[in-house]
Amino acid sequence: MPASKEQVIEALRKAFCMEVETITNYLANSLHLEGVRAEFIKQALAADIQGELLHAQQLGNRIKQLGGTIPGSLELKFDQKALQPTEDTTDVLHTIKGVLQAEQDAISHYRSIIKLTDGDDYVTQDLAITIMSDEEGHRQQFEGFLKEYSKK
């Protein structure tokens, strides 16, 4: 049985919130981290903000096409505990692990949208596949950072 349009819109609204939260946390961490080891991570986070913003725009456009409303600031639901800046501004590993958690959560959610729309809403499914591929690329990049920064 195909998903209802309302179920698809709700899944897209959740994805939109996740992207906006990621933008917020990438921005915060790119400004918060300091130290020699942090510089490259800060640059990577700052660069990824544009990609996440594009995802949010694409999701918002699809929500609109389906007749839904895009969440405003009072409707945004945030829960990325692992990506919150820490008091230790040099804790680069914490940030890398937080990014990996956020990317994995996003990938899982896009997989659920792909399944939800399978055989019915090919436009939304294609969008979810495309964004999921981008998220997998981000995850791979930060998995490499984790290997490098975890060396003793």
pLDDT at 34: 97
Instruction: Please report, for residues 63, 66, 71, 149, the alpha-carbon distance to residue 10 in angstroms, rounded to integers and kept in the order given.
Output: 9, 11, 10, 38
What's the pLDDT at 152?
60
Confidence of residue 113 (pLDDT cuts 50, 70, 90): very high
Q: Distance between alpha carbon 4 and the CA centroid of its chain, in Å?
A: 24
Count Cβ atoms within 10 A of the Cβ of residue 99 and give its class: 0-12 exposed, 13-18 middle, 19 or more buried. buried
Q: What is the band of 49 on the pLDDT scale with cuts at 50, 70, 90?
A: very high
Residue closest to 22 by CA, chosen among 106, 93, 107, 92: 106
Q: What is the pLDDT of residue 81?
A: 96
CA gap 127, 61 in Å, rounded: 11
What is the mean pLDDT of the segment spanning 125-146?
97
pLDDT in tens, 2-36: 899 999 999 999 999 999 999 999 999 999 999 99
Domain 5-70+86-150 - what CATH class? mainly alpha
Give the per-residue pLDDT at 139: 97
3-state secondary structure of 80: coil
**Orientation of helix 39-65 relative to helix 92-117, angle to 10°:** 20
Please check the confidence at residue 1 and state whether its pLDDT lies above 80: no
pLDDT over threshold 80, residue 114? yes
**pTM, full prediction:** 0.95
pLDDT digits (tens, 9 = 90+) for 55-107: 999 999 999 999 999 999 999 999 999 999 999 999 999 999 999 999 999 99
pLDDT of residue 2: 83
d(CA 59, CA 3): 18
Q: Amino acid identity, residue 150?
A: S
Compute the average pLDDT of residues 123-144: 97
Q: Which helix (H) or strand (E) holds 105?
A: helix 92-117
Distance of CA 57 to the CA centre of its chain: 13
**CA–CA distance, 148 with 8 (Å, rounded to integer):** 39
Q: Which of 128, 145, 120, 32 is nearest to 84 (CA)?
A: 32
Parse the chain into domains and list their residue ranges.
Answer: 5-70+86-150
